């Protein structure tokens, strides 16, 4: 496989990855007690043993700052060198009408950076990287971007409603990547995303928007799954098809195919569904990294955490094609294809 060289046209790649996970954890036994669902369902059927939970005084922007600082330090940069900051979350911000991106910019001292939010639920990180890549390439004065994914999803969960079982894997944490234009670490080759808006109303929090102002007596402020049986039926027909579509299309745009993929890093889903994704794409278990058992589902953080852990474990070598793939509420699917250079 041919490596891209510095002689080629300018590109953007991921230079470094930083992560932050809260120390407090919730175990499968804890979730079983809260939901009156047997522990074996969580540990054996879903595949989760524990997940990180943010403390009452830990909030998304604060976790994002910690991940961002680690990513910047690993990149060997100073915050003043960052040109763009994209905050990419799936759940609530610290406040309803507020900019977590601006707060992170201030907290890390990146005073010269333009900061903004990207929201596409669990695809937010992939989309944020794609947007920042394009912005870096479009502006000759930009060189570095910081993409921060941070979420406190645990406080959205209603363990008393068995219809919401699929959401109980949600947890808390943050990850950040520094993107560099013309760097030597990696190259972002292609992105592809798609949405099926007919599924939009199946997963939502009804209270707090303009349709239903927040009122605990009238409507729940917790995550709700409408008609889980119907959603499961639709998913059985569409989910794997759309997952395959975005992965294959992203690879085609990059000039590669499934046989070229060294590592596929996905958002974390229940064990059986993760196995079905690999089977549908003709990949083996050693071509991915599952973090669900220990870290749960962290929204858009998942793929970046998987990337960070894969790098730590030495699972990525020069020339490797790596795909970050995700599915999201809405419902959307997206895949980002990268090639590692060193």
The pLDDT tens digits for 118-136 are: 999 999 999 999 999 999 9
- pLDDT of residue 100 exceeding 80, the answer is yes
Q: What is the pLDDT of residue 318?
A: 97
CATH code of domain 12-183:
3.40.47.10
Of the candidate ranges 21-35, 172-186, 217-231, 272-286, the one whose mean pLDDT is the lowest:
217-231
Three-state DSSP at 171 gives: coil
208: left (phi over 0), alpha (psi -120 to 50) or beta: left
Cβ atoms of residues 60 and 50 within 8 Å: no
pLDDT mean over 221-225 = 74
Predicted local confidence at residue 3, as pLDDT? 45
**Distances from the Cα of 207 to the Cαs of 77, 231, 300, in angstroms?**
42, 21, 23
DSSP letter, residue 226: S
Q: Kindly state the DSSP code that residue 222 receives in the 8-state scheme.
A: S
pLDDT at 198: 82
DSSP string, 64-106: HHHHHHHHHHHHT--GGG--EEEEE-SS--SSSS--HHHHHHH
Closest listed residue to residue 122, CA positions, set 270, 325, 306 = 325
**What's the pLDDT score for residue 238?**
86
pLDDT > 60? residue 26: yes
Q: pLDDT tens digit string along 232-241?
A: 777 667 889 9
Measured distance CA(37)–CA(147) in Å, rounded: 37
| Average pLDDT, integer, range 258-283 | 95
CA–CA distance, 99 with 96 (Å, rounded to integer): 9
Say yes or no: do domains 12-183 and 188-340 share a fold. Answer: yes
pLDDT at 5 over 80: no
Structure tokens at 185: 């670490």
User: pLDDT tens across 276-307, in order?
Assistant: 999 999 999 999 999 999 999 999 999 999 99
Q: What number is the average pLDDT over the span 161-190?
A: 94
pTM given for the model: 0.93
pLDDT computed for residue 10 by the predictor: 87
Provide mean pLDDT across the span 306-327. Answer: 97
Residues in the chain: 342
In CATH, 188-340 is 3.30.420.40: no
Kindly list the domain boundaries of the chain, sorted by start residue.
Answer: 12-183, 188-340
Q: What is the rounded average pLDDT of the residues 98-106?
A: 98
- The count of C-alpha atoms lying within 13 angstroms of the C-alpha of 203, restricted to the half-sphere facing its C-beta, is 22
């Amino acid at each position: 496989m041919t490596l891209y060289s510095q002689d080629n046209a300018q590109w953007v790649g991921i230079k470094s990855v930083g992560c932050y996970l809260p120390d407090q954890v919730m175990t499968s036994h804890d979730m079983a007690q809260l939901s009156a669902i047997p522990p074996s369902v969580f540990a054996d059927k879903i595949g989760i043993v524990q997940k990180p939970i943010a403390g009452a005084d830990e909030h998304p922007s604060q976790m994002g700052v910690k991940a961002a600082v680690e990513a910047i330090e690993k990149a060997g940069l100073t915050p003043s060198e960052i040109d763009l900051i994209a905050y990419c979350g799936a759940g609530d911000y610290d406040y309803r009408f507020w900019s977590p991106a601006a707060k992170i910019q201030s907290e890390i001292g990146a005073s010269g950076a333009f900061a903004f939010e990207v929201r596409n639920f669990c695809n937010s990180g992939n989309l944020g990287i794609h947007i920042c890549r394009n912005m870096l390439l479009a502006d000759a004065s930009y060189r570095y971007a910081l993409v921060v994914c941070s979420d406190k999803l645990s406080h959205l969960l209603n363990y008393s409603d068995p219809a919401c079982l699929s959401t109980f894997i949600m947890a808390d944490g943050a990850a950040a990547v520094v993107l560099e234009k013309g760097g030597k670490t990696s190259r972002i080759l292609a992105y592809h995303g798609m949405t099926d808006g007919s599924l939009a109303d199946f997963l939502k929090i009804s209270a707090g928007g303009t349709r239903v102002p927040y009122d605990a007596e009238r409507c729940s402020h917790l995550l709700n799954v409408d008609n889980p049986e119907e959603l499961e039926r639709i998913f059985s027909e569409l989910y794997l098809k759309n997952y395959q579509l975005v992965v294959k299309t992203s690879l085609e745009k990059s000039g590669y195919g499934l046989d070229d993929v060294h590592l596929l890093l996905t958002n974390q889903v229940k064990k059986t569904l993760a196995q079905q994704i690999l089977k549908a794409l003709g990949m083996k278990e050693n071509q991915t990294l599952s973090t669900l058992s220990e870290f749960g589902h962290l929204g858009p953080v998942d793929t970046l955490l998987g990337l960070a852990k894969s790098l730590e474990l030495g699972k990525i070598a020069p020339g490797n094609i790596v795909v970050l793939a995700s599915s999201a509420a809405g419902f959307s699917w997206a895949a980002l294809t990268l090639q590692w250079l060193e």
